[in-house]
């Protein structure tokens, strides 16, 4: 791997600090109520420096979200084994997502509380990229569910609908954990979610 020059390292470090600051500001104030000036203050850079890296607030938002989804997706691909049973893979998957959310609370707040941004007329190219990243995440879960169909663990149905339902369960548990400022790790809820997803809440005979 090519060694980065000092200038390149500094560029990446500054860019990362600006994205982190934007994530924090967006999570605190919401996208529409945030300003580049506030992001500059949070990052401790001049406003002009922000514009050297990003054209505007909209680009900052989309690039921050796209890169976070890339990180989540790559973490899932690396962490979820290929040679384990579907039920074990689902548990691993939910644990990874919860661990990611626990380590990226501001990202989760921005994503879940600012979905209306996706309906705006912002930069279409970046918006399309973000939507594609989200659906790639859903597809990864959907593919795991299809493996469950093949194993006979899951009753055959619409894998996309089931993956959307599972993501919804993870999101609401995460939202509840953040909103109530719970001290326990959300990962502790992973077995409950997977059990509900696989077996439901109906009492057995």
Summarize the confidence of residues 159-164 as an average pLDDT: 93
CA–CA distances in Å: residue 12 to residues 7, 47, 106, 130: 9, 17, 21, 21
In a shared domain, residues 124 and 193: yes
Within a domain: residue 204? Answer: no
Q: How many helices (H) and strands (E) does the chain have?
A: 9, 0
Whether 113 and 165 share a structural domain: yes
The domain boundary, picked from 10, 28, 54, lies at 54
Residues 177 and 88 in one domain: yes
Q: Are residues 147 and 172 in the same domain?
A: yes
**Token digits of residue 106:** 């501001």
CATH classification at residue 44: 1.10.10.60
Task: Provide mean pLDDT across the span 186-190.
Answer: 92
Residue 148's CATH number: 1.10.357.10
pLDDT at position 94, please?
96
Q: Name the one residue in this structure whose structure tokens are 């790639």.
A: 136
> 39 and 113: one domain?
no
Q: Is 118 part of a structural domain of the chain? A: yes
Regarding whether 23 and 100 lie in a shared domain, the answer is: no
**What predicted TM-score, i.e. pTM, was given to this entire model?**
0.87
Q: What is the pLDDT of residues 5-32, one digit of tens each?
A: 888 889 999 999 999 999 999 999 988 8
pLDDT at position 120 = 61
Query: Does 48 share its domain with 67?
Result: no
In this prediction, residue 16 carries a pLDDT of 96
Domains held by the chain: number: 2
Averaged pLDDT of the chain = 89
Residue 205 within any structural domain of the chain? no
d(CA 94, CA 169): 10
pLDDT at 67: 94
Range of the domain at 47: 1-54
Neighbours of 138 (CB within 10 A): 15
171's enclosing H/E stretch is helix 159-179
DSSP state of 194: H
Give CA–CA dist 86/55, Å, rounded. 44
Q: Are 71 and 130 part of one and the same domain?
A: yes
Burial class (CB in 10 A: 0-12, 13-18, 19+), 87: middle
pLDDT digits (tens, 9 = 90+) for 92-136: 999 999 999 999 999 998 888 766 666 666 667 888 888 898 889
């Amino acid at each position: 791997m090519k060694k980065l020059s000092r200038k390149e390292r500094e560029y990446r470090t500054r860019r990362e600090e600006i994205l982190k600051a934007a994530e924090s500001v967006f999570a605190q104030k919401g996208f529409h109520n945030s300003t580049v000036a506030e992001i500059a203050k949070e990052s401790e850079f001049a406003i002009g420096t922000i514009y050297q890296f990003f054209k505007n607030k909209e680009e900052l938002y989309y690039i921050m979200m796209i890169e976070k989804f890339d990180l989540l997706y790559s973490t899932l691909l690396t962490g979820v084994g290929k040679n384990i049973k579907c039920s074990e893979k689902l548990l691993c998957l939910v644990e990874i997502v919860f661990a990611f959310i626990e380590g990226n609370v501001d990202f989760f707040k921005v994503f879940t509380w600012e979905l209306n941004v996706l309906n705006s007329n912002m930069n279409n190219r970046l918006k399309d990229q973000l939507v594609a990243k989200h659906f790639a995440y859903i597809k990864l879960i959907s593919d795991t569910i299809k493996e469950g169909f093949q194993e006979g663990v899951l009753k055959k149905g619409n894998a996309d609908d089931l993956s959307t339902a599972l993501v919804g369960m993870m999101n609401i548990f995460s939202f509840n954990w953040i909103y109530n400022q719970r001290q326990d790790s959300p990962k502790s809820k992973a077995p409950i979610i997977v059990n509900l997803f696989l077996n439901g809440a109906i009492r057995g005979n």
